[in-house]
A and B are shown apart, each in its own frame.
Chain A
Amino acid sequence: KNQVEQSPQSLIILEGKNCTLQCNYTVSPFSNLRWYKQDTGRGPVSLTIMTFSENTKSNGRYTATLDADTKQSSLHITASQLSDSASYICVVGDSGGGADGLTFGKGTHLIIQP
């Protein structure tokens, strides 16, 4: 069964600091990996999407990396801001053709303190 594991479950850091969120997956056949940001009470919003051939993708202060060999991804947030407080969800797509072909992680809950 396809699985996506995210760590840590929750994280508290001070404003201005950097942080890295982890995503390990066992999804086959792998197609793509996406990171979403979900603010409290809102729907997820796409941050980055990477295919097998891409190992890094940036979106402003967010940088995602992908190691398809070890089946790991990370999301690095630089110079955190209060508005970065949210849940960050790793989503891995497969090319097997079933349903939406997506496996969602449970998310990392990030809190930025002033």
Chain B
Amino acid sequence: NAGVTQTPKFQVLKTGQSMTLQCAQDMNHEYMSWYRQDPGMGLRLIHYSVGAGITDQGEVPNGYNVSRSTTEDFPLRLLSAAPSQTSVYFCASSYSRTPTRGGYTFGSGTRLTVV
């Protein structure tokens, strides 16, 4: 089925550990982005990419790195995990940064706990 696939679904990290959250889409979308969702807050943009080889920072980029070597994949790296990064992370994709039809397609999320 076409869509956005995120792995893993759940992860527990110790403070200071690093890890990569994977995101892949098979819809040939140029635009991909990462959000975090915390209780009582709206989704906040971490990083985004308008195409392979192009990435940029969103609202809350500190502590995270991204790369976009292919159209399909957009991994999010936590460099040195901190308890403040405990959150649910969503990857999204679209044919455009500002689609006028449909909307973003979101993955099912990765629930990350940093202890």
Identify the A interface with B (CB < 8 A). Answer: 4, 31-32, 34, 36, 41-46, 49, 51, 89, 91, 93, 95, 99-107
A contact patch SS: strand
* Interface contact A102-B45, CB-CB below 8 Å: yes
- The smallest beta-carbon distance between A90 and chain B, in angstroms, is 9
* Interface contact A31-B109, CB-CB below 8 Å: no
* Interface contact A43-B48, CB-CB below 8 Å: no
B contact patch SS: loop
A49 touching B103 in the complex, CB below 8 Å, given contacts A43-B109, A105-B42: yes
- The smallest beta-carbon distance between A4 and chain B, in angstroms, is 7
A43 touching B4 in the complex, CB below 8 Å, given contacts A99-B48, A100-B33: yes
* Interface contact A32-B100, CB-CB below 8 Å: yes
Check B12 for interface membership: any CB of A closer than 8 A.
no
* Interface contact A46-B43, CB-CB below 8 Å: no
Check B102 for interface membership: any CB of A closer than 8 A.
yes
* Interface contact A43-B42, CB-CB below 8 Å: no
Check B1 for interface membership: any CB of A closer than 8 A.
no
* Interface contact B56-A99, CB-CB below 8 Å: yes
Question: Size of chain B's interface in residues, with CB distance under 8 A?
Answer: 28
Check B90 for interface membership: any CB of A closer than 8 A.
yes
Give Cα A89–Cα B106 distance, bound, in whole angstroms: 13
Residues of B within 8 A of A91 (CB): 103
Which of B33, B101, B106 has the most chain A CB atoms closer than 10 A to its own CB? B106
Give Cα A45–Cα B43 distance, bound, in whole angstroms: 13
Partner of B42, one of A49, A95, A99, A107: A107
A44 touching B106 in the complex, CB below 8 Å, given contacts A99-B48, A100-B48, A101-B98: yes
Check B53 for interface membership: any CB of A closer than 8 A.
no
Residues of B within 8 A of A89 (CB): 42-43
Known contacts A32-B98, A99-B48, A105-B42; 8 further A-B pairs (Cβ under 8 A): A34-B103, A44-B90, A44-B104, A44-B106, A100-B45, A100-B58, A106-B41, A107-B42
